[in-house]
Amino acid sequence: MAEQPGNDQRKSPGGQGHGMRSKSTGGRRRRRRPGKDGPPQKPTIRDAAPLNVSPILDANKTAEEPLTAAEVKELTEHFRFVSKHRKLLRLKPNAAEDRLLNGSQTPEHRGVCMHLLGKIDRATVKSAVDRLENDKDRTDLLAGVVRFSNDPAILLAYLEALSASSSRTEATAALGLGLRRIDFSQVSAAQMRRFLELVVELFEFRDRPQLMLDLLESPTFKSAFDAAAVDMPPVLAELLGPLRAVHAAVFCGETSQDSDPRHLQRGVALLLQGHTATLRSYPEGAKRRLFELGVQGEDFDPKALEVLLGEFPPASREFSSLATFLAREYLRRHDDSRARALLQKLVEHQPGFRLPGRWLAALDAERVGRIALCGNPDDRGWQEGLWLDHQRPALVRKLAAADDTARHTVLLHRRLLVPGVVPLLASEANPGGSGFVALEMVGRPGRWWRQLDKLDRGTVAYEGVAILASILRAGVRLPDSALRRFLIDGNGRLWLFDLDGAALAQPNFDDRAALALACGFCNNILPRSAQGALDSLDSLSALAQFLLLRGRL
């Protein structure tokens, strides 16, 4: 019985009738005798119906229309590849085409370029493939041709060659360029499902996301994808939501419309799991957006992130911004070794950028917990520090008191979440009695009261009374209202930071001791002309009302 023509004998949309098989599939087709050759071979993508493709250059443009800069760049790369394989392809270029191949002339005329690429047709490629003995050589040749060919048979031959190739890392990007030119609007749901099944068969897990992203670049793919979604392979169906979300956010710079925020996180993780060559092939804007999303993502991948970071010149502003962003995350995750290496690189390449040097010095400094100590302590033990986890300046005091003093002090700082009390950043109270408290650096302790003439005394006095009343309401009372317990921030606002000797107490705003404490603070702030009126007041609320009525003092 005569053999029926297979799919590799059908004519392509371009009208070529030559079938195409790579040597990796065995060259000539052999007739299988029952029981001799085992079970039938797994079908390849060659068995699917032919797919229509659109040309590499805009078909609506005439041969005389000038090339765009992007087209010139792409064509230059194609001609460099063709020049390398011109003997194998047995091309016979004319004089103008020869200048394009040897690089002496930049692509300028659309018609000349199209004519030269058109010479590398199915028959030419098939003949060249048949002359190659090595699977890798055949795959490499087809990988280069599929980047510019609009012949589906060449694309399918490339897929077949991949099934016999031991390395596909660089191949995924080449295949992606070919897939983008397929016109999926003319592909049936059955053909789409078959095509996607073969993608699963031929490509490993870490390659599939990039292939699917390349397909999402096709304007006709999404509708065909949806039509096949019901019966598509589960391993691809579960990629659809994440990849659509990450395609919009990373490659289009758009806000994802996906209602499930986990899709974007999953999509970012899938891309970061890709090959190094694939990560480096992304456009600069996509690399930056993927990097930023990856640093903030739950599936943190430092190796992939540093690959993306390495694509930016170390002396560039973009590098300094992204590297600082990553160094912050390393410190937050307590990965000090990676943070140190990255900060040292910033210091080396950007000597005028002072922030990395300060963070490096903090990494080398004495620490209490995750607080790096900077400078020397004052006479009460307070000193400046840096909270490494969030790179925030801190006001730190080591607690080495005996018994439960340290534990008690830490407890009070944790309890006083009230306005006017400096917020607690971190603390520690060890069983042995030692520990530390680290407060937000809202201002520096000092003899600020010596500059009261530059401040609104009435406002400072009122803020002090309000703070003392607030901590009393929270069940804490100070042993005194000394000015050294307070500091002034850059906006002239008063803050309480030193709780040394404070004790738990029942709120009682009529308590004469509490009133005396507040009046003592005011006597240190107000001018002498206003101090005499304080003796007639009988409560904290009356004192606050008096200060409001007096206004600026």
Most confident of 134-138, 194-198, 208-212, 348-352: 348-352
The alpha-helical segments, DSSP class H, found in 146-248 are: 152-164, 171-179, 189-202, 208-216, 221-228, 234-246
**Residue 33 pLDDT > 80, yes or no?**
no
| H-helix or E-strand spanning residue 413 | helix 405-415
- Sort residue 118 into left (φ over 0), alpha (ψ -120 to 50) or beta: alpha
Name the region of 421 (left: φ>0; alpha: ψ -120 to 50; beta: rest).
beta
Higher pLDDT, 18 or 251: 251
124 close to 84: Cβ distance less than 8 angstroms: no
56 compared with 41, residue with greater pLDDT? 56
pLDDT for 320: 97
Cα-based distances in Å from 87 to 275, 350, 504: 32, 49, 91
Q: Are 236 and 208 in contact (CB under 8 A)?
A: yes
| Cβ–Cβ under 8 Å, residues 275 and 269 | no
From residue 99, alpha-carbon distances to 46, 121, 130, 374 in Å are 37, 20, 28, 66
The pLDDT of residue 19 is: 45
Has residue 226 got a pLDDT over 70? Answer: no
Looking at residue 38, its pLDDT comes to: 42
Does the pLDDT at position 267 exceed 90? yes
Nearest to 523 by CA among 531, 514, 513, 515: 531
**CB-side exposure of 95: number of CA atoms within 13 Å?**
0
pTM of the model: 0.68
- Residue-wise pLDDT for 46-97, tens only, equals 333 333 344 455 656 788 889 988 889 889 999 999 999 999 999 999 999 9
Tokens describing residue 305: 């992130």
The mean of the pLDDT values for the chain is 81
Mean pLDDT, to the nearest integer, of 451-480? 89
Percentage above 90 pLDDT, the chain: 40
Environment class of 180 (CB within 10 Å of its CB; exposed 0-12, middle 13-18, buried 19+): middle
Whether 12 shows a pLDDT value over 60: the answer reads no
State yes or no: pLDDT of 172 exceeds 90.
Answer: no
- Cα end-to-end distance, the chain, whole Å: 113
pLDDT of residue 28: 39
- For the cut 60, the answer to whether the pLDDT of residue 193 exceeds it is yes
Do 154 and 135 contact (CB within 8 A), yes or no? no
pLDDT for residue 9 is more than 90: no
Is it the case that residue 274 has pLDDT exceeding 70? Answer: yes
Q: Give ∠ CA 533-536-541 in degrees, rounded to 5.
A: 95
Domains of the chain, each with CATH number or no CATH: 12-26+42-182 (no CATH), 317-364 (no CATH), 367-440 (3.30.200.20), 448-550 (1.10.510.10)
Predicted confidence band at 544 (pLDDT cuts at 50, 70, 90)? confident
Supply the DSSP symbol for 39.
Answer: S
pLDDT reading at 140 higher than 90: no
Q: At what angle do helices 302-309 and 284-296 cross, to 10 degrees?
A: 150
pLDDT at 3 over 50: no
Considering only CA atoms, which of 178, 179, 169 is closest in space to residue 281?
Answer: 169
Provide the phi-psi class of 4: left if phi over 0, else alpha when psi is between -120 and 50, else beta. Answer: beta
Q: How far apart are CA 221 and CA 217, in angstroms?
A: 8
